């Protein structure tokens, strides 16, 4: 189908997420949003039976193209963690990846999954990002949290906090910087990105008094990146960096670990943020929240972040076509 500008509308695969979480509900809300359907055609990846269960009013999801995933025999129980639900969620993700690889869709968006449920299903991955990167054999990928005014990537992702210090290496920092800068250029049309790098320790180590990582690892990586012509600065103490709005002066921010980046991002952008996987051959985004089992099935889940994720996927897919 064609959009308002007369060009073919992008086709976006959206996996429904954990069938016991809010994924099916927010997907149904987005399917009923004319501002989304005006900009793209959505391919629903999941189970029609699950969507029918959550469809309180006739939203017409059957009008959308569907890549059906078998959920027969599965007992839908909103709010419950279930290995069968985890399996259905991950099969949906894999099917969406296949649609991207075959060129049947221009991008994919993933509704939230439960890490515990996919573990019960036998998947040895901490989340979507690592699973998709493994399917695509893409070792140099990056979880990049994106909003209209803030973009944060993490050197380390879904690993225990106790393992973070040894994972902070010059190589990993430089890899993160390269993936982020390339993505900001090609995916978001920022020609010369300026990147801030956060420290690991309180007060960015305070000259080594509060930890050696800044002097021994982070600062040398920043200098090496600068020597290659990259616009990279830091290390900045994370609290002051966000507290005094220094972040507004940069196109991208490199955090050392998950919560260091995600806490300020969600505080500043929750509901309007998108999880984008940089460094993949395909375009993949997701909402910036989880399965919200505590409200699943109640009809109150907010679909704004999923809508943002779809619009971001459209933007990135179109930007990539411009540079091909």
Residues 172 and 264 in one domain: yes
**Is pLDDT above 80 for 172?**
yes
Residues 102 and 153 in one domain: no
Measured in whole angstroms, the distance separating CA 254 from the mean position of its chain's CA atoms is 15
**Is pLDDT above 60 for 105?**
yes
Question: Is 309 within the bounds of a domain?
Answer: no
Give the per-residue pLDDT at 72.
86
Residues 63 and 147 in one domain: no
Give the per-residue pLDDT at 62.
59
Question: Is 54 within the bounds of a domain?
Answer: yes
Give the CATH number, domain containing residue 33: 3.40.718.10
Residues 166 and 266 in one domain: yes
**Using an 8 Å Cβ cutoff, are 146 and 266 in contact?**
no
Read off the pLDDT band of 153 (50, 70, 90). Answer: very high
**Is pLDDT above 50 for 59?**
no
Instruction: Quote the CA–CA distance of 93 and 89 in Å, as a whole number.
Output: 6
Domain hosting residue 93, numbered range: 1-138+280-303
Residues 159 and 225 in one domain: yes
Residues 161 and 270 in one domain: yes
* Tally of domains within the chain: 2
Residues 266 and 145 in one domain: yes
Residue where the block lists tokens 């690993």? 159
Residues 127 and 152 in one domain: no
Give the per-residue pLDDT at 139.
87
Residues 125 and 164 in one domain: no
Instruction: Quote the CA–CA distance of 210 and 203 in Å, as a whole number.
Output: 8
Read off the pLDDT band of 324 (50, 70, 90). Answer: low
Q: Which two tokens stand for residue 269?
A: 């952008």
Q: pLDDT (tens digit, 9 = 90+) per residue, 234-256?
A: 999 999 999 999 999 999 999 99
Q: pLDDT (tens digit, 9 = 90+) per residue, 280-308?
A: 999 999 999 999 999 999 999 999 999 99
Residues 154 and 260 in one domain: yes
Question: Is 114 within the bounds of a domain?
Answer: yes
Report residue 167: phi and psi, to 5°.
-85, -10
């Amino acid at each position: 189908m064609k959009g308002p500008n007369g060009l073919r509308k992008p086709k976006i695969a959206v996996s429904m997420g954990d069938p016991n979480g809010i994924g099916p509900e927010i997907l149904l809300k987005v399917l009923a949003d004319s501002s989304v359907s005006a900009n793209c055609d959505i391919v629903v990846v999941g189970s029609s039976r699950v969507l029918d269960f959550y469809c309180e009013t006739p939203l017409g999801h059957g009008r959308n193209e569907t890549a059906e995933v078998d959920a027969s025999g599965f007992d839908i129980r909103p709010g419950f963690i279930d290995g069968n639900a985890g399996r259905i969620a991950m099969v949906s993700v894999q099917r969406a990846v296949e649609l991207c690889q075959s060129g049947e869709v221009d991008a994919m968006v993933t509704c939230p999954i439960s890490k515990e449920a996919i573990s019960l299903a036998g998947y040895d991955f901490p989340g979507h990002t690592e699973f998709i990167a493994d399917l695509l054999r893409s070792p140099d990928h990056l979880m990049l949290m994106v909003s209209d005014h803030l973009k944060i990537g993490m050197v380390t992702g879904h690993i225990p906090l106790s393992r973070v210090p040894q994972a902070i290496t010059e190589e990993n920092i430089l890899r993160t910087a390269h993936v982020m800068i390339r993505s900001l250029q090609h995916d978001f049309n920022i020609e010369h990105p300026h990147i801030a790098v956060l420290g690991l320790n309180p007060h960015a180590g305070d000259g080594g008094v509060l930890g050696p990582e800044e002097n021994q690892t982070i600062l040398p990586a920043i200098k090496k990146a600068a020597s290659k012509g990259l616009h990279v600065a830091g290390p900045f103490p994370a609290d002051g960096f966000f507290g005094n709005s220094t972040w507004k002066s940069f196109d991208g921010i490199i955090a050392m670990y998950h919560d260091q980046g995600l806490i300020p991002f969600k505080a500043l952008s929750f509901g309007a943020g998108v999880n984008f996987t940089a460094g993949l051959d395909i375009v993949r985004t997701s909402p910036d929240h989880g399965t919200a089992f505590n409200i699943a099935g109640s009809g109150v889940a907010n679909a704004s972040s999923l809508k943002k994720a779809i619009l971001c996927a459209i933007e990135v897919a179109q930007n990539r076509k411009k540079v091909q």
